[in-house]
Amino acid sequence: MQTDTQKSHALASLARHLRKGGLAPQVIILSGMLVALVMVSLCATVLYQGRLDALERARETSRNLALLAERDIERNFELYALSLQAVVEGMRDADVLALPLRLRRQVLFDRAASAQYLGSMLVLDASGNIVIDSGSEMPRAGNFSDRAYFTVHRDNPDVGLYISDPYLSRLRNGSPSIALSRRLSHQDGSFAGIVMVAVNLEYFHKLFAGLSLGPHGAVSLIKKNGIMLMRQPYDPRTIGRDIRKASTFRRFRSTSEGSFSDTASIDGVRRLYFFRNFPELPLIIMVAEAEDDIYAAWRRRALTIGSLMFVFGLGFVGLSFLLGAQFRRRMRAESELELLARTDGLTGLNNRRTLGEILDQEWRRARRTSSVFSLLFVDIDRFKAYNDTYGHQAGDDALAAVARCIGDCIRRPADSAARYGGEEFVVVLPDTPPAGAARIAEKIRTAISELAIEHAASEYGRVTASIGAASWAPGRDGGDVTTVIKAADEALYNAKATGRNKVSPFVPA
CATH of the domain at 157: 3.30.450.20
The yes-or-no verdict on residue 152 having pLDDT over 70 is yes
Quick check: helix, strand or coil at residue 167?
strand
Residue 32 has what pLDDT?
75
Residue 96 has what pLDDT?
76
Task: For residue 491, tell me if it sits in a domain.
Answer: yes
Task: For residue 260, tell me if it sits in a domain.
Answer: no
Using CA atoms, how far residue 90 sits from 14, 84, 93, 104, 126, in Å, is 95, 10, 5, 9, 17
Residue 316 has what pLDDT?
74
List phi, psi (to 5°) of 4: -60, -35
Residue 478 has what pLDDT?
58
**Domain range for residue 104?**
92-200
Residue 112 has what pLDDT?
53
Averaged over 419-427, what is the pLDDT? 92
Reported as a single tens digit per residue, the pLDDT across 313-327 is 788 777 777 777 776
The yes-or-no verdict on residue 127 having pLDDT over 60 is yes
The yes-or-no verdict on residue 97 having pLDDT over 80 is no
Average pLDDT of the chain is 85
The yes-or-no verdict on residue 339 having pLDDT over 70 is no
The span from the CA of 209 to the CA of 65, in Å, is 12
- H-run or E-run covering 218: strand 218-223
Domain finish residue from 166, 200, 234 = 200
Averaged over 129-146, what is the pLDDT? 87
Residue 12 has what pLDDT?
46
Where residue 116 falls among pLDDT bands split at 50, 70, 90?
confident
Domain finish residue from 157, 182, 200 = 200
Residue 183 has what pLDDT?
94
Where residue 380 falls among pLDDT bands split at 50, 70, 90?
very high
Task: For residue 422, tell me if it sits in a domain.
Answer: yes
Residue 35 has what pLDDT?
79
The yes-or-no verdict on residue 437 having pLDDT over 50 is yes
Reported as a single tens digit per residue, the pLDDT across 196-211 is 999 999 999 999 888 8
Residue 292 has what pLDDT?
87
Averaged over 124-131, what is the pLDDT? 93
More confident residue, 292 or 3: 292
Number of domains observed in the structure of the chain? 2
For 431-493, give the DSSP string.
T--HHHHHHHHHHHHHHHHHT--B-TTSTTSB--EEEEEEEE-HHHH---HHHHHHHHHHHHH
Where residue 364 falls among pLDDT bands split at 50, 70, 90?
confident
Task: For residue 45, tell me if it sits in a domain.
Answer: no
- Choose from 102-111, 285-294, 443-452 the range with maximum mean pLDDT: 443-452
Lowest mean pLDDT among 17-26, 223-232, 374-383: 17-26
Domain finish residue from 185, 200, 215 = 200
Task: For residue 317, tell me if it sits in a domain.
Answer: no
| Residue type at 464 in one-letter notation | T
Residue 14 has what pLDDT?
46
The yes-or-no verdict on residue 4 having pLDDT over 60 is no
- H-run or E-run covering 229: strand 228-232
Using CA atoms, how far residue 455 sits from 392, 393, 449, in Å, is 14, 14, 11
Nearest to 122 by CA among 173, 193, 200: 193
Task: For residue 451, tell me if it sits in a domain.
Answer: yes
Where residue 13 falls among pLDDT bands split at 50, 70, 90?
very low
Residue 294 has what pLDDT?
87
Contact between residue 271 and residue 261 where contact means Cβ atoms under 8 Å apart: yes
The yes-or-no verdict on residue 122 having pLDDT over 80 is yes
Residue 19 has what pLDDT?
46
The yes-or-no verdict on residue 333 having pLDDT over 60 is yes
Reported as a single tens digit per residue, the pLDDT across 442-499 is 999 999 999 999 999 999 999 999 999 999 887 655 567 888 899 999 999 999 999 9
Residue 492 has what pLDDT?
94
Residue 479 has what pLDDT?
67
Residue 119 has what pLDDT?
80
Lowest mean pLDDT among 289-293, 329-333, 439-443, 484-488: 329-333
Q: Residue 466 belongs to a domain with what CATH number?
A: 3.30.70.270
More confident residue, 507 or 149: 149
Task: For residue 432, tell me if it sits in a domain.
Answer: yes
Task: For residue 167, tell me if it sits in a domain.
Answer: yes
Residue 332 has what pLDDT?
67
More confident residue, 322 or 75: 75
For 316-365, give the DSSP string.
HHHHHHHHHHHHHHHHHHHHHHHHHHHB-TTT-SB-HHHHHHHHHHHHHH
Lowest mean pLDDT among 57-61, 124-128, 437-441: 57-61
CA atoms within 13 A on the CB side of 476: 8
